[in-house]
């Protein structure tokens, strides 16, 4: 009887063992196909309103994460500590529609950072960062509505060119305020109010022209001063030489005077 039980239990044990091995193999295959470990801590994919979304909000990131699924439609990188955006930061996301980079520490954006997003991206949020000055070429060919509010902007010709090159998100223009400015009276004012009254690029051009004129006048004055000094110095030398000649005997004096006069002429 005992032997019979052993014969019956052996196939059952082997079956359970094979089943466990099969489940383990499925788990390993699943982890290879969907490597959750590739995502930074605090980041996860989801689907919202039929759009593939990747959220990394408040994940303590210090750079744009890699291995973001390339079929992502909405990317949330808000509320992190990202300091700058390198070139081609989002080049592998051709289907991206919305990009939220608000509430970071972004102070610099390299040229070409948004390269590859021109065709599909329709919303870009860069509000509440540390942007002071950005070239208009940074957003070249982008059709997205951009939120640039709540940054410590330097209000100058460069910012004026940037604002005119992008389409601002609705109700975000009032949040673009002059933290500093080339003209002290503009500090603390909304930038659109400033450029409504003053063309900063024209002011910059006038200032540059005046500076060039002052510089040229300075060089001209130096040249004139040198010429005046040179002529006066030569006159003084000639006068001294003539006085010396007068003290010489008459015959030698006439010979020296003729030589001096010809030299002066």
Q: Work out the burial of residue 114: count CB atoms within 10 Å of its CB; fewer than 13 is exposed, 13-18 middle, 19 or more buried.
A: buried
Give the pLDDT of residue 6.
46
pLDDT of residue 118: 81
Do residues 178 and 188 touch, judged by C-beta distance below 8 A? yes
pLDDT for residue 225 = 64
Tokens representing residue 155 in the block: 């209000």
pTM, two decimal places: 0.65
Q: What is the pLDDT of residue 9?
A: 42
Query: What is the predicted pLDDT for the residue at 256?
Result: 54
Quick one: DSSP state of residue 53?
E
**Residue burial 229-249, b: 16+ Cβ < 10 Å; e: rest:** eeeeeeeeeeeebeeebeeee
Q: Each residue's pLDDT tens digit in the chain (265 positions)? A: 444 444 444 555 555 555 656 555 655 554 444 444 478 889 999 999 899 999 999 999 999 998 899 999 999 999 999 999 999 999 999 999 999 999 999 999 999 999 999 889 999 999 999 999 999 999 988 999 999 999 999 999 999 999 999 999 999 999 999 999 988 899 999 999 999 889 999 864 444 444 454 455 555 566 666 666 666 667 766 666 666 656 666 655 555 555 554 544 4
């Amino acid at each position: 009887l005992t032997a019979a039980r052993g014969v019956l239990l052996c196939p059952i044990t082997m079956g359970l063992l094979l089943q466990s091995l099969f489940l383990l193999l499925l788990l390993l295959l699943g982890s290879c196909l969907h490597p959750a470990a590739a995502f930074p801590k605090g980041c996860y994919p989801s689907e919202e309103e039929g759009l593939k979304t990747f959220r990394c909000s408040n994940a303590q990131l210090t750079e744009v994460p890699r291995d973001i699924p390339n079929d992502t439609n909405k990317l949330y990188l808000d509320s992190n500590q990202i300091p700058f955006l390198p070139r081609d930061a989002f080049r592998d996301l051709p289907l991206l529609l919305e990009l939220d980079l608000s509430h970071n520490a972004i102070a610099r954006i390299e040229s070409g950072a948004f390269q590859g997003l021109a065709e599909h991206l329709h919303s870009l949020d860069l509000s509440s960062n540390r942007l002071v000055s950005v070239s208009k070429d940074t957003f070249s060919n982008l059709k997205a509505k951009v939120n640039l509010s709540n940054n410590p902007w330097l209000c100058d010709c460069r910012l004026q060119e940037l604002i005119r090159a992008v389409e601002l998100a609705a109700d975000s223009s009032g949040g673009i305020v002059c933290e500093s400015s080339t003209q002290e009276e503009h500090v603390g004012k909304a930038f659109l109010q400033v450029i409504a009254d003053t063309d900063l690029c024209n002011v910059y051009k006038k200032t540059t022209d005046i500076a060039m004129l002052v510089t040229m006048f300075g060089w001209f004055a130096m040249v004139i001063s040198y010429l005046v000094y040179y002529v006066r110095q030569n006159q003084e030398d000639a006068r001294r030489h003539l006085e010396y000649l007068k003290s010489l005997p008459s015959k030698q004096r006439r010979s020296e005077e003729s030589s001096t006069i010809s030299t002066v002429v």
